[in-house]
A and B are shown apart, each in its own frame.
Chain A
């Protein structure tokens, strides 16, 4: 088995991904750690940098610059690299996460603006206690959905968000619901089949 490539979600792996990411963060916040070198404002009137974000059900204290996006914060301050950056300009949807159950492009949301909201990333979808995959994730596994899968976390999060508003969509409706996400392998037909399977599993 290749390193970093678990074939099954174990509870231990899950905790590594969701909870213990804080341990990773201590070595991964380098992207912004030397900002005092630039004289970034920290004076009175500037926004508070040390904030609390609720990510995947955990309150996380994190040092965030005023201009720092949620995508950068998740990936580089919290070590949650399942959220991908494909374009960094709200064009591709690879960075989609849920903010209070609504899909957002995290590359285009400032971390400071989501304080007090519930953020869910791909790492937070499966059951943290048992490691059981979310229905939409299981749909992907059942249908061997996606190819390179760089777009997959975004598509899965967009689908989970959309299904909260329409649990029983037609293929056409679901395609519209997740049309803000690009797959460059262009495996749309199979993606839609996998997501429809996920919707079916969600309905039970």
Chain B
């Protein structure tokens, strides 16, 4: 079952590259249905039979490529399939204005999906590297789609960041392989000890991944890239792509290198997170362009993810558990909410013909659904109930209390208020009675796909138990080793 999730997107990537234009449109929906269906089936399988370890071609580690489907990875697979499907539906209508871009969007879209799925399933550090490279390249390609001067510049910066990040990561991988002779995550987590080699390797990989995740102060490339890309691209990048490198970072610190990391280093990671929250929010508060606001909001929200490290390293098991749960929920909630927000904003910009926040008057009358989607996703981002974002914040707060780390508690409370400060800028203006200029109608599918994602962010507040119980399935039962497809 597991490799199908790689085969489907790769097959569709090649199909969309080769087939003539009108065929490409026709296979979008079947492809999405297949992808979502396969992800859901795998989820159910894991839920019933426990995690699986699949060795490609039956070669076992350390030689072969192993795919590991545990509760964490299938949740992310399902998330990816779901968000990608809604973004694709949106893109189908959105891209009718961009015939040339459309040609390249779909192959890149499927490559991106294949790379993401590959990262979620990878069982060793080298596969993660391959996934990262493929992800970086397809993401850069998507940013560069419109080929305007500004987006090309942004894409180029992004490319350099991605390449340098991968390079640093690869150097770390090489060091680890030299020291331990294996790259399997499961084996390394038993072997990697707190020696200088491991620590240098981890440091290199961490820097690379921080750059790729756009963690403050290495976030410089993200706002122009995410803010300048086409709306469905921005949604995919902010919701999923940056999460992939964070996922690897979390694996490295809490699994592979769990024995080698120190509490001080974890606190330093948290400090970066706090910096991201404050700096990103402040920039979002300052900017005049709505898409930049949403992009800076991503910078800020990624900061919360970084709090995982101080909250989960060197504390009691109960506190670490809460931190994990909170981080996972935050990752999911932010993915839904941010995708929804970018799609909603894309619709509003399309309707108005510009993205200047201060001239947003009148959209509440003419484009209520998109604005409502923006509002719902903002509720989750601010961490107000009922929403996935609130549940995540609650768990993280409880974790901070349980480990007595009051400084992170304060950071999170203030972070919520800062988020409110910048999102309410948009509402404030949207309630202005008079429209300054013509507002066009937009296709209902654009508004509704944004709304669907926003509703998912809210609904996550009521079904948080589901991903959290899936997450607990991490131990691979020996009976399923080398499992069947």
Does B bind A? no
Residue positions of B touching A, CB distance < 8 A: none
Residue positions of A touching B, CB distance < 8 A: none
